[in-house]
Amino acid sequence: MRGTLKPPRLRDNCFALPQGVDWIPVSEALTRLETALTPVVQSETLLVDQAAGRVLTENLSAKRATPPHPNAAVDGYGFAHCATGYGPQYLPLVKGRAAAGHPYAGTVPKGSALRILTGAPLPEGVDTVVLEEDCTIDGQAIAFHGPIKPGTNTRCAGEDRAKGVPILTAGHRLRAPDLALLAATGHEAVPVLRPLRVAVMSTGDELRDLGGATEPGHVFDANRPMLRALLTRWGHEVIDLGRWPDNPDSIRTALDQGARADAIMTSGGASAGEEDHISALLQAEGRLHAWRIALKPGRPLVLAQWHGTPVFGLPGNPVAAFVCALLFARPALELMSGAGWSSPLRFTVPAAFAKSKKPGRTEYPRARLTSRGEVEVFTSEGSGRISGLSWADGLVELPMEAAEITPGTAVTYLPYAGFGL
């Protein structure tokens, strides 16, 4: 046996690519993913105050102008501009006032002024408002220095959105500001897509649930809480399948349960080892699209289908699982949910670090902006260093080519906010 069994050459870099393996660039894997998927969810109608996070199915226009009537933009005194001029101005006050929700019912005579509060409709005879702070008042009249521009401190009807003009488009995921716009323009209910249902599972004999007893070799399942939180933040409905042992029959059962959802997200078992049953099962009984992707962290990534249901097989290491979820799962799930394919925000900023990058993989070190507008990276690149995820507020994207980065070098920064976090 000693004569026929020859060991491979020792390789100093444990992250080096295996010989003879064709690795798929990140951009190509994303293109394949986008091409393979389509929207899968159905529509329903919801009240506006229940529609946050949902995706619109139709283009919407304003049912009502906003503001619906000319109104005062400040607390002050309203009058007809044509009755004023240059120098000191003296206008007698009419009795009463105009306030939001309590309009003045009469007409303000030319040459007189009316007490008016912010948001109050402009009554007949008023087209200009002077600030209260710019006036002297004795209870009978006001005095101020002219000239005042016509229309000062007033809002025109429909100056934000006129009735009938477009306000939001189909495929838009509704945020809090959108709900304000919908309400202001007269929408009580809106047509939206139901949430995407995503089943989440972890695999690994070493995993234990939080609060459970542990023995040597056991670790708490950090991925499932993280992935559930991501999916919830992205507006999807989470189906928690729990954790499963490294057993093909058990994992097959879990995948069958997950296939009732719109998508499945797994962590662990995505590589090619003896206990990596996710990739083996998907290759043997499912449809495996890609699993050797040239990125760091996270090269053992499964993009596949199980009985027609898309599967995102994330690495077991939490850092790699997080990065792969942001880069691949988020845009894919956005497309499936009807919101369309999404690309992360990218900013070019100066580096506050030094690195000699080897060619072959796109790298995504954890990073955060400094008070000087530079970007620094976490001290360790290890994909098990979960603290770096919490420390960071984004990622740096380093291209596949070799690069020498020194402080001040322009690099690409991807903030967490650009991933919907």
212 CB-near residues (< 8 Å, 6+ apart): none
Under 8 Å between Cβ of 17 and 153: no
Q: Is residue 392 assigned to a domain?
A: yes
Segment 318-341, tens digit of pLDDT: 899 999 999 999 999 999 999 999
Per DSSP, the three-state class of 321 is: helix
* Span 20-29, average pLDDT: 79
Q: Which amino acid is at 82?
A: C
Q: Is residue 287 assigned to a domain?
A: yes
For residue 377, what are its two tokens?
């990276």
Q: Is residue 4 assigned to a domain?
A: no
Structural domain total, the chain: 4
Q: Is 75 in the same domain as 188?
A: no
For residue 117, what are its two tokens?
């509060």
Q: Is 80 in the same domain as 58?
A: no
Q: Is 186 in the same domain as 260?
A: no
Q: Is residue 17 assigned to a domain?
A: no
Q: Which tops the pLDDT comparison, 288 or 137? A: 137
Average pLDDT, the chain: 88
Q: Which pLDDT score is estimated for 231?
A: 96
**pLDDT over threshold 90, residue 15:** no
Q: Which pLDDT score is estimated for 12?
A: 47
Q: Is 219 in the same domain as 324?
A: yes
Cβ-based neighbour number of residue 65 at 10 Å:
20
Range(s) of the domain holding residue 124? 71-155
Which of 79, 198, 202, 62 minimizes the C-alpha distance to 129?
79
Q: Is 369 exposed, middle or buried (0-12, 13-18, 19+ CB in 10 A)?
A: middle
Q: Is 47 in the same domain as 187?
A: yes
Which of 119, 39, 4 minimizes the C-alpha distance to 334?
39
E strand or H helix at 240? strand 237-244
For residues 179 and 183, what is the distance between their CA atoms, to the nearest angstrom? Answer: 6
* Span 67-86, average pLDDT: 95
Q: Is 294 in the same domain as 217?
A: yes
Q: Is residue 342 assigned to a domain?
A: no
E strand or H helix at 330? helix 330-336
* Span 236-254, average pLDDT: 87
**Concatenated DSSP letters of 67-106:** SSS-EESSSEEEE-GGG--SEEEEEEEEEEEEBTTB---S
Q: Is 216 in the same domain as 282?
A: yes
Q: Is 222 in the same domain as 292?
A: yes
Q: Which pLDDT score is estimated for 209?
A: 72
Confidence of residue 274 (pLDDT cuts 50, 70, 90): very low
Q: Is 182 in the same domain as 58?
A: yes
* Span 365-383, average pLDDT: 91
Segment 275-306, tens digit of pLDDT: 456 777 877 776 776 667 889 887 667 788 88
Q: Is 36 in the same domain as 49?
A: no
Confidence of residue 213 (pLDDT cuts 50, 70, 90): low
Which of 358, 327, 359, 329 minimizes the C-alpha distance to 344?
327
**pLDDT over threshold 50, residue 241:** yes
Q: Is 321 in the same domain as 247?
A: yes
Segment 169-205, tens digit of pLDDT: 999 999 999 999 999 999 999 999 999 999 999 887 6
Segment 378-414, tens digit of pLDDT: 988 877 788 999 999 999 999 999 999 999 999 999 9
For residue 314, what are its two tokens?
């994330």
Chosen domain end from 193, 213, 246: 193
**pLDDT over threshold 80, residue 58:** yes
**pLDDT over threshold 60, residue 17:** no
Q: Is residue 7 assigned to a domain?
A: no
Q: Which pLDDT score is estimated for 3?
A: 52
For residues 89 and 20, what is the distance between their CA atoms, to the nearest angstrom? Answer: 88
Which of 42, 44, 26 minimizes the C-alpha distance to 34?
26
Q: Which pLDDT score is estimated for 285?
A: 74
Q: Is 76 in the same domain as 122?
A: yes
E strand or H helix at 27? helix 26-36
Find the range with the poorest average confidence among 9-18, 117-126, 253-262, 341-350. 9-18
